[in-house]
Amino acid sequence: MDQATLQFYQTNAEAYAKRTFTSRQARLMAFLALLPPGAAILELGCGAGGDTAEMLARGFNVRPTDGSPEMAAVAAKHLGRPVETLLFHELDEVGAYEGVWANACLLHVPRDQLASVLSLIRRALKPGGVFYASYKEGETAGRDTLDRYYNYPSQDWLRATYAEAGNWNSLAMERGEVRGFDDKMAPMLFVVARKAG
């Protein structure tokens, strides 16, 4: 994880947690519809824990994690349960989850490390497991006005990077826009992949 980006979330955890999100609700519900009832879900980059709360309310077995200890503490307070601090490269489980939800977090992984992180996520999924992630679309890595690093992938580059990470039974990609913490609209890529098996 880029240190300046991690520092941003450590410093701004409380302010970031106060944001409300409605645009991703439909994507979360579509993701959950692909999973069996009570499925084990790993959430990466859980932020303030809003998505975790939604999944728990629907009876799913969720492991919320975040790369920032400060953000994890905010989420734990909100959820009333422990939230682990986990950096992506520390994921070491094998075949543990039916689903992995990684909303707006893998977009901070350095380009030369993304395939490796995706392979760890793939390994953590059970055969047939479903993996959701979102990215800010672009052509080359860069920083936003808040000095956060983004990998800014194109659709073709992202498809190739997922392929490099291992065998997926299916990979669906959609485009859209979201308003970021910097209050700017950004083009996004929303990816749903299913592990082969």
Which residues does residue 62 pair with via DSSP β-bridges, in sequence order?
Answer: 41
pTM of the model: 0.90
Q: What pLDDT score was predicted for residue 32?
A: 98
Cβ atoms of 84 and 131 closer than 8 Å: no
Name the token pair of 24.
């991703």
Q: Which tens digits make up the pLDDT trace of 66-75?
A: 999 999 999 9
Q: What pLDDT score was predicted for residue 19?
A: 56
Looking at the chain, which runs of residues are DSSP E strands?
Answer: 40-43, 61-66, 84-85, 97-102, 125-136, 142-143, 149-150, 168-179, 185-195
- Sequence ranges of the domains in the chain: 3-195
Q: Which residues contact 173 (CB under 8 A, 6 or more apart)?
A: 155, 158, 159, 189, 190, 191
Q: If DSSP states are collapsed to H, E and C, what string results for 121-135? A: HHHHEEEEEEEEEEE
Higher-pLDDT residue of 188, 16: 188
Could you tell me which CATH class the domain 3-195 is placed in?
Answer: alpha beta
